[in-house]
Amino acid sequence: MATFRKVYGKWQARINWYENGKRRYKSKNGFATKALARAWAAENEVNLSDGIDIKKETTLISYYDYWVKTYKEPRVSSVTLNRYRFTRKPLVSFFKDIPIKKITRSQYQNFINSFGSNHAPHTVKEVNNIVKACVRSAILDDYLTKNFTNGVVLTANKNREVKVDYLNMTEIKRLIHQTADGIDPKSTYTSRYMILTAIYTGMRLSEIQALTWNDIDFHNKTIDINKSWNANDHTFKPTKNKSSVRTIGANNLLLELLSQLKERHVSNMVFMTQFGTIPTSNAVNKTLRGLLDELHIHRQNFHFHSLRHSHVALLLAHGVDVYAISKRLGHSDIRTTTNTYAYLLDEYKQETDNKIIKVLDEIV
């Protein structure tokens, strides 16, 4: 029920309802007209009927901070947490102190249009996914009834897109030989072993860092990927998602190299160094850049994660099915694989088409 009255020349709206047997009130002053006061009251009464706790008031930024701290920070990696921090900046710039309940779909579309004008498609998609998850959480926490991110069209600046570099077949072979030949059997520096593991398996760096000898089955030639490594506090953490938990086949050369490493290691951690540490991202990338310089291979955007892309290129070049590649990489959906590696799939499309034509021509 709503009541209206004038207070110092402006209209006041007041609504009341019962909650757990107790009468509750909410009011707002300063409306220029009674019609505006009625509209405010009607909106809040609709929210009440939809189950929203209208006493809850917060801005998008305040809720975003609460959501990250409560639901994300305790369980995500430092890399993922940095993505949330990156996403916060444009939200603050665009929405400022606007209450989350006041944000409309068209306002959010304008935000995407503005942000997308000078950011690459991948960045826009990533930011939108984070905001969507935050808004869904706000609905569950009774701050909203409608998801203002639904149906928004993503716009981006394709000129800002950075193509991930990968190595061709000849370069991959050269890198493998250069990396393996430089391994000192008496040393426990493990960055070279990690680089070879990435090339041969396509594993993420955090998955490689977390490997223990219990995860490697030399008899059945498999590697069990069941955890990842938290570089901040040097502890295990869950894999990126459930589908990332997987068992993959390992080739003989990699297993031979790892068995050499095992013979002179006392730690159960596969890539523990003689200093009792696991090589960091900076360490393995420094080693990788050094190897590429030695080979006179120059790739501006090539880093350790690019070895994962090179692994995919290697498998595609030998006709491995995309579905099998997707499972090996630990993707939850084959669409993730096709979207992420679309540029590689396009490159091998003509070769695939030729195979299809050959198969069809052989049908009698």
Q: Pairing mode, if any, of strands 22-31 and 10-19?
A: antiparallel
| Residue 44, SS3 per DSSP | helix
Residue 8 falls in which region: left (phi positive, over 0), alpha (psi -120 to 50) or beta = left
CA nearest neighbour of 271 among 197, 329, 221: 197
- Residue 342: per-residue pLDDT: 66
> How many CB atoms are closer than 10 A to CB 16?
12
CATH of domain 60-160: 1.10.150.130
Block residue for tokens 């779909």: 105
Give me the DSSP letters along 117-180: TTS-HHHHHHHHHHHHHHHHHHHHTTS-SS-TTTTPPP---GGGPPPPP---HHHHHHHHHHHH
Can you tell me the distance from the alpha carbon of 64 to that of 82, in angstroms, rounded to the nearest whole number?
14
- Residue 80: per-residue pLDDT: 83
Please say if the pLDDT value at position 283 is more than 70: yes
- Residue 282: per-residue pLDDT: 93
In which order are the strands placed within the sheet that holds 222-225?
Answer: 216-217, 222-225, 246-249
Phi, psi dihedrals of residue 326, rounded to the nearest 5°: -60, -45
Cα dist from 153 to 46, 76, 111, 121, whole Å: 28, 28, 11, 12
| Residue 216, SS3 per DSSP | strand
pLDDT confidence band for 213 (50 / 70 / 90): very high
Can you tell me the distance from the alpha carbon of 325 to that of 333, in angstroms, rounded to the nearest whole number?
11
pLDDT digits (tens, 9 = 90+) for 142-157: 888 789 999 999 999 9
Cα dist from 230 to 80, 144, 278, 280, 316, whole Å: 12, 34, 11, 10, 31
**Two tokens, residue 37:** 């006061």
Q: How far is CA 357 from the centre of its chain?
A: 38
Q: What is the residue extent of each domain of the chain?
A: 2-49, 60-160, 169-350
CATH of domain 169-350: 1.10.443.10
Q: Pairing mode, if any, of strands 10-19 and 2-7?
A: antiparallel
pLDDT digits (tens, 9 = 90+) for 323-355: 898 999 988 888 877 777 766 666 666 666 777
- Residue 135: per-residue pLDDT: 96
Longest dimension (CA), the chain: 92
Note whether 43 and 145 are within 8 A (CB): no
- Indicate the pTM of the whole model: 0.66
